[in-house]
Every structure is written in C-alpha cells, then in structure tokens.
Structure 1
Amino acid sequence: MPHKRAKRSVRENERKKRGEDLAPMKNSLSNEPIPKAIARVLNATKIREEWHNKKRKLQEDGDHKQGDKRRKLEDGAKGKRRETQATAKISIKPGESIQHFNRRVEDDMRPLVKAAVHSSNAVARNAVKADKEAKAAKKLKGKSNKTDESEEAKTTRIQPPAPAVAADKHAGKAKEFQKTSSSAPRRLNDVAQAPPEFKRLPRGAVSAASDGFGSGKRDGVLSMAQRQMMEKERENAITRYREMKARQRKSGEKSDERDRDGADDD
C-alpha cells in the first residue's frame, strides 16, 4: 500500500542506488519561495485598497449630491495611497527571520493605526455629543409647552368656594388619662402576704372530689384496678424509704460507738 513504509532492507538498497553527496533537490530550503504568512502580509494592503475602491465607486454611483462624503472618501483614499506606498517598500531582507520582519512591519504601521483610532474616537464623541444636544433641546421644548398650557389653564379655571370649617367631634372629651387616687399604689416588686382567694370557680370548672383523687376527667381516665395498683406502689415506696432511713440510722449509731471505743482505749 502506498501509505505504508517500506522495509529497512528496501530503503537501504534505494539509498545505495541513489548514492551520497548529491545535489540539492527542488524542494530544498534554498529554493523555497516566500512563506504564505509573509505573502498575506505583503498583499494585505493591495486587497484592502481594491475593496475600498469598490466601496467608493458604489457610494459615488448611488448618491452624487453628497459632496462632503466624496471629499472624505477622497481624503481617505489619499491617506490609503500613502499607506500603500509606505508599506509597499517593506519587504523581507535576505537572512532576516520572520519574527524580526513582523516586528519591523508593526513598528512601521503603528503610527497609522494610532491616527485611525484617534479619528474614529473623535467621530464617535461628536456623534454622542450631537445626540445629547438634540435630546436636551427636545426636553426644553416639552417643558416650555407644558408651562404655557398650565398658565392658560390657571387663567381660565374658576376658583371653587372655600369649604366650611368642620366641627371637632372630640371637643368635649378628655384628652389625657385619668389619675387614680389610692393610698397604697401597686409597685413592681411587691411581695404577696397570702395566695389569692377565689370565691367562685372559673367558668367550666368542677368542684374537687372529697376522696383526694380529683373528680371529673380524672375518674374517667383511671379505673379502680389502676388506682389500687398506684396505692400499693405508694405503700411499697413508703416502706422502702423507712427501711433505708432505719439502716442509715443504725450505721450511724455503730460508727459513733466505734469512735467512743477508740477514744476510751487511748
């Protein structure tokens, strides 16, 4: 297959047949033409000039009455001719690298680019300024028209009669809180001598039962068996508590006797 590499033996035989120290071929570096990137840079001015010439012709054919535009185009064409004349002289020197050539081209084109940028900025500033002035003039016109209309309306408008003063509804009522006269006023940190006494039960409350377990809702919750279990547990807890106290008392008495015996021995 053509894209496959030949064997090493075949390549060595072909090399022996060709021989050594041969003359350079047509595709050598010495016979190579100008690189494509440099050719594009050199031909860029020519292409740009042709495009601008076409654009200028179309504008001239479309509108012959705009003399200012023609002058601007002519001035631009003259400036472009100067640019092309200046750039046409730029060419790569023998033995010069592409990097040095690009730097030299940039240095030559830098003032032209700066001038173009400044001119475009000036045009943009002028356009913005003109827009602002036009908006301000429109606002002033609108304000003047509104003031004229308001003055005419004031002159033609009939003044209505002044309304009668409404009577004050709260004229006879007191405007301040009344003060209480009491010999012992209530204070923030007063101490109660006894709990409050309720002579009547609150709304919806039921009187307490005499058996000590309450009445009403509690009777419906606890059954008789549960109440007996609770009583039994209560008795057991009381007996355990009494036994624990008795043991603590006995252990305290024993420790006191030991202390006394030790003191007698001494």
Structure 2
Amino acid sequence: MPHKRAKRSIRDAETAKKGHNLAPQASTYDDTPRSASRIFNAHAVQSAFRKAGRITSEDTGERKPKPSSSTNTSSSSSSSKLKPQNGSSSSTTPTTKQTDPKKPAIPSILPNESLGEYNRRVEEFLRPGVSKAIKEAASIKAAEEAAFRREKKDRKKRTRIERLVKLGKMPQAALDELDKEMKNKAGKRKRGDEDEGSGSDDNDDDGDKTTTKPREREEKSFKPIEAPRRLNDIVQAPPSLPHLRKLGQEKKVGKGVYGAVGKGSGKDPLNAGQRRILEEERERVVKMYRDMKAAREEAKVEEKGAKVKVKV
C-alpha cells in the first residue's frame, strides 16, 4: 500500500542502489511563478514559433472580426480565420444594448468614461420608468384597498339584512333588492375599468397622429384707470379735521340707558325707600363686625390669663 512504509529489506536494497553520501544534483522542480516563467521564456517561444514558419496578426496587421449572432455555423467557422481590416462599420462599437425592441435601449459605457459616471447616467436614464412604475403600483394598491373596503361594507350590510329577514323584521324583497343593487354596481365598475383601459389605448394610438390644442386663456377684465389728478388745483377752504380728545380728559357720558343715572350723571339711581333699607343693612353689618371683634379680643385676654396661671 502506498501509504505504508516499505519493508526494511526493500529499503536497504534501494539505498544500496542509489548509494550513500551523494553529491547534490539539479532539482527537476521549478518554483518560479508561472507569470515570470512566461516572461523569461518568451523569446525562446517566439523563436520556435517563427522557425516553424507560422505567423500571427502582429506580423501581418490583420485581426479577427467579431462573430455576429445571425451567421450560421459555416460563417462562424470562417470568421475564426484572419481577415483584413475593411470599413469603419466593423471597427465601430455599438453605443446601446438593444435587448427588446419595445423597451428603450440602455446606453453602454462610453470611451474614457468611469464606471461611476456610467452608473449615474444609467440611473438618470431609468429613473422616469421607475417613478412611473412606483406610481402605478401605488394607484393599483389604493384601488384594491378601496375595493376591499367596499366589499367588506357590502358584506356587513347584507349580513345585517339577512339577520333581520330571518327575525321577520324585514321582508325578503329588501334582500333581493340589495343583491340586485350590488350586482349593478359591480357591473358598472367593471365596464368603467374596461372603458378606461380602452380609452388609454386609444389615446396612446392617437397621440402620435393628432396633437391636442392648447387651452385658450380667458381674458381678464381689469378696473379702469382713474383720471390723473391735477397738481395745480386751487384750495377754497382749509381741511376739516376731527376734534381730538386731549390726554387725561375723561370721556363724556352719553344720555343712553346707562348714562342717564350713574357716577358721572349727578343722579342717584335709588329712591327713598331703597336708601333707607341700604342704611339699615349697613348699620347691621357694622354692628355685627364690631361684636365679632370684641369677642375676639376677649378670647385673647382669656388665653393670656390661662397661660399666666399655668406658669405660677
């Protein structure tokens, strides 16, 4: 077995055959990197290639044309041979990548253009389509949510009417009428969606043929300009200014409902009986206040006397 050590007799025989203490020999293993060895051996390889009588495109100035997808197997095999350079059509590179004739072609990278600039240019080219797709998706989602809410509301309404019909509170005709109304609404919505789709297609087809006329602006009516005033008018009298009240001067009280009697009118709004009642009430309140004050003073004196007795 290769992974096991050989017998001692075999090892001794191989050692006797090779010998002992031999001089170092050149190793057959080359640890030079492959890229470096290609550079070192380039001259030898080229010399051997020339001695064999073979030539390359560097010697003749020829190049291989790019194979086209429309050619068959015979043309593809013949295109592998070297052909002379002719015309500018084969040397020019396409500037766009055409994948689908219906979709806009994505521009390809330009000469001396960095990858970042190319990516930004492609993003600007594709941004309108992405924005349009996002808006369409949002509108479709909103329409679906509205339809779902509408259907849920109709189901709740139908369930409520069915329960009332079972209880005998509503006739069966109400439920039939509701079903008929719901079917009519669904048909109208379906026809409206179809009309919108066909209308959009017609607009797309006719958009290239006919151009819409711009809407005419409405004429605005402005106020007529007044006649200019004359500068040399003769003044016949001085201007009349309103009478201004001086600061600190009280405003005169008018003779209205509240101005006939009051503080500044000089008249007493109370009659003789009302004045007598007011005086009696004032005297009673003053007497009550004085009694309360006297009682408070007596209570303080008693408290002081009690404290003095406790200390003694």
Q: TM-score scaled to structure 1, two decimals?
A: 0.24
Q: TM-score scaled to structure 2, two decimals?
A: 0.21
